[in-house]
Structure 1
Amino acid sequence: MTDTVAAERMVDRLVAVEWDEAAARAHRRSRGRLAREFLRRTAQWALAVGAEEGWPFSDLAGALDPELVVDPALLAKLEIDATTVGLFPVRPAHAAVIVRWAALGDLPRQRFPELDDPYEPLLSLLGRGGGYSVSKGFIELGSGSFPIRSLADRAALEPLPIDEATLDMADRES
């Protein structure tokens, strides 16, 4: 079953992301922390559902529910064109993976209650200055880069708190 409302809300959230170089610089440390936590969480999910190929942007939703279908017209809203290239800094393929996850609704939490939402750290990272890119084993954050490393290395890490107060404190320390 597809949670269309959750998928639509996620598309809206992703399309609203804008690159803000000053905010990205001001949130350099918290964005690095969020990138690390994103990699840890997606690694744990990839191992749990057998979606190691393509990690950290593997199709976790498809591995969890191979029957999942998201309206192609909804996913088409994620495409980048000349009018949105500067406003929407999330690769459409990455955004589609996140929307497909949202379309699962509560299924992931029901099946794996011990695992945290894999994409919330990345969504928070986007809200703290916008986009990222992936190149040569790094997540490029605009004001620095963060190594991806191996799936096993990332899955073995201890979780980091990513609440607003902790993230704000990390930024003040820089």
Structure 2
Amino acid sequence: MVSDPAAARRMAERLAAVQWDDDAAYEHRRSRGRLTREFLRRTAQWSLTVGAEEGWPFSDLAGALDPEVAVDPALLDAVQIGAASAGAFPVRPEAARLMVRWAALGELPRQRFPQLSDPYEPLLVLFGRGGGYSLSHGSIELGYGSFPILSVAERAALEPVPIDEATLDALDHGSPGVR
């Protein structure tokens, strides 16, 4: 069994520190779309790799990688971010739990599959750019646009896109050459 309680706690703290801001979400609508695309691509690749396609894009990747991964139940309860504090598009409780469980794996994912990028980092960056999301009819709704989920295979086949801060900022500000 793998368990990194410190990493799980850090993830819970990151989730709790998110500041929901509708104006920021609007200003970052282009980058949030890119982050959603990259989140779907990464989780699709992980889902196929570890056999966790059921429930994708919110399948239990941590449980598929290590069925005995342990997280303090009180910590999982602490990440139940409510709609009242998060505005119209909060972190869905099941996504928060999945992200904390993933963090509890520590370095195991990188050790086993160094070619795959962290599946939840794009979602964390998206939260940091103003808000969450909701699910609607096969799409992720970002408030200022909808992003189709598509199939695991379709998303896994996509090429990665950069999600560094400079690229995301350039995308939001309409810089030439950034798509």
2:164 match: 163
Q: Counterparts of 2:37 and 2:135 in 1: how far apart (Å)? A: 14
Q: What secondary structure sits across from 2:6 in the alignment?
A: helix
- Size of the aligned set, in residue pairs, is 174
| TM-score between the two structures when normalised by the length of structure 1 | 0.95
- Tell whether the 8 Å contact from 2:15 to 2:96 is kept in structure 1 after alignment: yes
* Residue 18 of structure 1: how far off its partner (Å): 2.7
The amino acid of 1:92's aligned partner reads P
Q: Counterparts of 1:128 and 1:66 in 2: how far apart (Å)? A: 32
> 1:111-145, CA deviations, whole angstroms, 9 ceiling, x for partnerless residues?
00000000000100000011111111111111111
1:30–1:112 Cα change, 3 Å = same
* Residue 87 of structure 1: how far off its partner (Å): 9.4
Q: What secondary structure sits across from 1:108 in the alignment?
A: helix
Q: Counterparts of 2:161 and 2:123 in 1: how far apart (Å)? A: 13
Trace 1:53-72 onto structure 2 (pairs within 5 A). Answer: 53-72=54-73
Residue 118 of structure 2 corresponds to residue 117 of structure 1: yes
Unpaired runs of 5+ in structure 1?
A: none
* Residue 84 of structure 1: how far off its partner (Å): 3.5
Q: Which is worse superposed, 83-92 or 122-131?
A: 83-92
The amino acid of 1:132's aligned partner reads Y
Q: Which is worse superposed, 119-128 or 84-93?
A: 84-93
Trace 1:85-100 onto structure 2 (pairs within 5 A). Answer: 86=87, 89-100=90-101
The amino acid of 1:107's aligned partner reads L
Trace 1:17-56 onto structure 2 (pairs within 5 A). Answer: 17-56=18-57
Q: What secondary structure sits across from 1:167 in the alignment?
A: helix
- Tell whether the 8 Å contact from 2:83 to 2:89 is kept in structure 1 after alignment: no
1:6 match: 7
The amino acid of 2:11's aligned partner reads M
- Tell whether the 8 Å contact from 1:51 to 1:63 is kept in structure 2 after alignment: yes
Q: Counterparts of 1:81 and 1:66 in 2: how far apart (Å)? A: 28
The amino acid of 1:162's aligned partner reads I
Q: What secondary structure sits across from 1:41 in the alignment?
A: helix
2:142 match: 141
The amino acid of 1:21's aligned partner reads D
Give identity over the alignment, percent. 72
> 1:36-80, CA deviations, whole angstroms, 9 ceiling, x for partnerless residues?
000000000000000000000100000000011111011010224
2:74 match: 73
1:49–1:172 Cα change, 3 Å = same
